[in-house]
Structure 1
Amino acid sequence: MAVNLDYEQAGELKIGQVGIANLRIRTLDVARLVQEMHERVSRAPKLFGRAAVILDFGGLSQLPDLATAQELLAGLRQAGVLPVALAYGTQETERLSEQLGLPLLAKFRAQYEPAPGEPAPAPAPPRAAEPKSKATPAPPSAAAPQPGRMQRATVRSGQQLYAENCDLTVLATVGAGAEVIADGSIHIYGTLRGRALAGAQGNEGARIFCRDFHAELVAIAGRYKVLDDIPDNLRGKAVQVWLEQDQIMIAALD
């Protein structure tokens, strides 16, 4: 069955930095949402089967009522995933989460976008001028960039490796069922058989570079492709993965 993955989808699925899927509801059509999730699970059962899913109603002009939300939860469970929480929103969202008996994850959305109406941080107040003296030290140089994280050993099935606020370099293999995550870019000099998620905090300029490409999933800033979406002629090749016009692009390296 063909799956429509363009912007007209009722639900936009993103992968968070801890491997929890964030289902941002764009159209409150329970049947469509359940069918889309069923198709995702059918196409990638090892990835999405019984996966924890957070529901994000922030894309809707109005929250669903309790009965509709309960119908959606039941449908998603039947589709093969496990709704575990609601994403942070308004006070109404908090009340709905209490009625559903689900936790509210207040920081999940911040990985991708600010909460609606959240003010920009105020600029720091100017410092008062200080009198100069012969002992005045030279102004400090700019802070050195944070070094990336390096992994020399194989990342084995079931393991998860996260490089916070930096790039990740893996000198060995990322095994099937393993997951490597970075807020920056990911460089893999061995074989990638598991999952690689770059730009985990929303950095759309992050990239993934891999010498031997057999990935279960690749994601940039939450947009993703699974193995079935990847052309056969790129498997086993050295590739780079990047985001262009909100779409995941994969190309062989020369």
Structure 2
Amino acid sequence: MSNNQGSKPIELKISTVVAVSAILRTTELAAIDAALKQATGGAPDYFDHDLVVVDVSGCGQDIGSIDWPALTALFRTYQLNLVAVRGAPSDLQSQIVAHGLSIDTLAQQRQETRESEPAAIHAAPAPAAAPPAPTAPVIERVVERVEVPTAMPAMIVDAPVRAGQRIYARGSDLIVNAIVNNGAELIADGSIHVYAPLRGRALAGASGNSDARIFTLSMEAELVSIAGVYRTFDGGLPKDLAKQPAQVRLEGDRIDILSIRA
């Protein structure tokens, strides 16, 4: 007889899912492979079996030619697990589900909500037409989450963050008072403060806050990101910033790293 008669066989909780968002602008697998290879620098362990949500809304009329098993296999070679699709037309959704993938209905609901909002009485002039989108897919790491309406206290971590460990400060800043080792990952909806060497990955403004920043007493990061815009350091950090106090901020669509001087 089981010793867990009084316990629930399953417990369901709301969980924040950290995923990679792959925005496809082509259905050509060779082009997607080349873009992934360029984004990862050819490093086989650039991703760590992360989940992937593919946005196919930019594929145009070619969307019906996507080979879902082949696309899933391609992502798997980069240690990426394709789990969901967003932006797919309704007539293709049953086909996508048949291949074991989910439909990101939350993103669709957000889009429908925006489209149903009444237009402003004094509408601004229509912007000039944007130039054609490039054909290469965009790969970016994001956090899929529900909006947090109120601010929360900062999350404070006093222990070293080990390789393979991932810490997420939902709706708040993240403060780490110990070393962040290579292969570790910090994620915060607000800013990230590391009062020790930062040697892993740090992703601030994960829910889209472009004003978030990253601070560290010793800049040695593998990757930094603000609001989904990221920068890696395959060629190493500039000599005047390496292992020095620094801050990371977003200027437009560019990641800037600035020295912090006493």
Mark yes or no: TM-score above 0.5. yes
Deviations, residues 130-149 of structure 1 (Å, cap 9, x unaligned): xxxxxxxxxxxxx9953211
Match of 2:35 in 1: 36
Match of 2:242 in 1: 235
Match of 2:157 in 1: 151
Find 2:191's aligned residue among 173, 185, 196: 185
**1-side partners of 2:59 and 2:111: how far apart?**
12
Deviations, residues 191-238 of structure 1 (Å, cap 9, x unaligned): 111111111111111111111111111111111112216533222111
Find 1:245's aligned residue among 228, 252, 255: 252
Share of identical aligned residues, percent? 35
RMSD of equivalent CA atoms: 3.0
- Per the alignment, in what secondary structure is the counterpart of residue 118 of structure 1? helix
The unaligned stretches of length 5 or more in structure 1 are 1-16, 124-142
TM (normalized to structure 2)? 0.70
Say yes or no: does 1:198 pair with 2:204: yes
What amino acid sits opposite 2:165 in the alignment? Q
Match of 1:24 in 2: 23
Match of 1:176 in 2: 182
Match of 1:104 in 2: 103
**1-side partners of 2:57 and 2:82: how far apart?**
17
What amino acid sits opposite 1:220 in the alignment? I
The unaligned stretches of length 5 or more in structure 2 are 1-15, 119-148
Which aligned runs of 4 or more in structure 1 are off by greater than 6 angstroms? 120-123
- Per the alignment, in what secondary structure is the counterpart of residue 22 of structure 1? strand
Say yes or no: does 1:84 pair with 2:82: yes
**2-side partners of 1:122 and 1:26: how far apart?**
28
**More divergent stretch after superposition (187-196 vs 21-30):** 21-30
Q: How many residues align?
A: 214
TM (normalized to structure 1)? 0.72
